[in-house]
Amino acid sequence: MFPPVFVLAAVAGGTALGAAALASARWPYRSPGAAIVLWQALGLSWGLAAVGALAALGAVPGQYGVAGGALSGAVRALRSAALSFGAPALIALARLAVLAASAALFALLCWVLVAASAAVLVARRRHRVLLSLLAHGDPKVPGALVVDHPVAAAYCVPGLRSAIVISAGTLDLLDAAELAAVLAHERAHLRARHDLVLLPFSALGRAFPRSRLVCQAYATVALLVEMLADDRALRQRPARELATALLRVGVSGAGRAPSGALAAVGTADAEMTARVARLLTPQARLPLHVQALVCCTAALIVAVPVTLLLHSF
């Protein structure tokens, strides 16, 4: 049996490689829901395995897996660092250092999740207050708020008191059928709380802002969430309405920036093209047994580090 430290390190490396492969794969467009589950499993498993591999380095073999071994390892190392001299004390200090690194990584991951949630709540509260002062209803878009601004925008503010917001520019740009498709898309976001799916990935982006893989993961999951909402909207509206709405809003956005800030921001050409192509030339969803296989893989990916952390072999 391999020592857990090697298995956990392999899982951490494997999930990162898997994420890179998944980011460039095309099958997720055919079943965005299953792909999102796999992304979540990869993220969770990577975090557990990375923390666990460091902990396993400093752990002593014990009954309760790596987590228990790390605790008793810390206690033993503290005792021998305090009581002994020379080589044993150095080994004890090294063991304490990797355990501290493991605890620090765990704390960092927890902290960015809390910080990202708090930042999102604050931003949304401010946004809602501004909406209550500025926005008004419009019979053309029942249930949505309208903000008087010429640039075409349509978005939702998720949360317990959620809102769908349409700009006056969008009202002018789209016809009634296209507006209904936009509303169906946004309602799908709100109903399924897609913002909660994205939150951990944006938190990871906070923890590792320089990592290309983390940025890629965020962008990919964000695109999959949009596709999921597109699919949901298709149950109520024809694909063509949603596609022309997307095209019109996308076309109107370019080259008509309300401020200098807009030009500086990276664009999302490939994402928009992929969504439109998907609507106009739909591909068959993945067969049910393939989707089940993807979900089982996801469960397995998480189960391996969890088992090693909690159980000894």
Pick from 6, 114, 211, 267: which binds another protein (CB under 8 A)? 267
- Residue 281 as a binder of another protein (CB under 8 A): the answer is no
- Residue 224 as a binder of another protein (CB under 8 A): the answer is no
DSSP state of 26: S
Site residues for another protein, 112-141, by CB under 8 A, read 116, 119-120, 123-124, 127, 129-131, 133-134
Give DSSP secondary structure letters for 122-180. Answer: HHHHHHHHHHHHH-EE-TTSTT-EEE--SS--EEEE-STT-EEEEEHHHHHHS-HHHHH
Pick from 218, 227, 234, 278: which binds another protein (CB under 8 A)? 218
**Using CB under 8 A as the criterion, what x/- string covers residues 23-52 for binding another protein?**
------------------------------
- Residue 311 as a binder of another protein (CB under 8 A): the answer is no
Residues 6+ apart with CB under 8 A from 190: 156, 158, 162, 164
Name the one range near another protein by CB under 8 A: 23-31, 49-57, 76-84, 147-155: 147-155
Kindly list the distances between the CA atom of residue 309 and the CA atoms of 19, 37, 66, 71, in Å, as whole numbers in the listed order.
22, 22, 5, 12
**Sign of the C-alpha dihedral computed for residues 271, 273, 279 and 281 taken in this order:** negative
Shortest reach from residue 284's CB to another protein, in Å: 22
Closer Cβ to another protein, 102 or 244, answer by number: 244
Token pair listed for 250 = 């996308």
Residues 6+ apart with CB under 8 A from 70: 55, 56, 58, 59, 99, 102
Binding site for another protein (CB under 8 A): 116, 119-120, 123-124, 127, 129-131, 133-134, 147-149, 151, 153-158, 165, 167, 173, 182, 185-186, 189, 194-195, 198-199, 201-202, 205, 218, 222, 225, 240, 243-255, 258-259, 261-262, 265, 267-269, 271-273, 276, 280
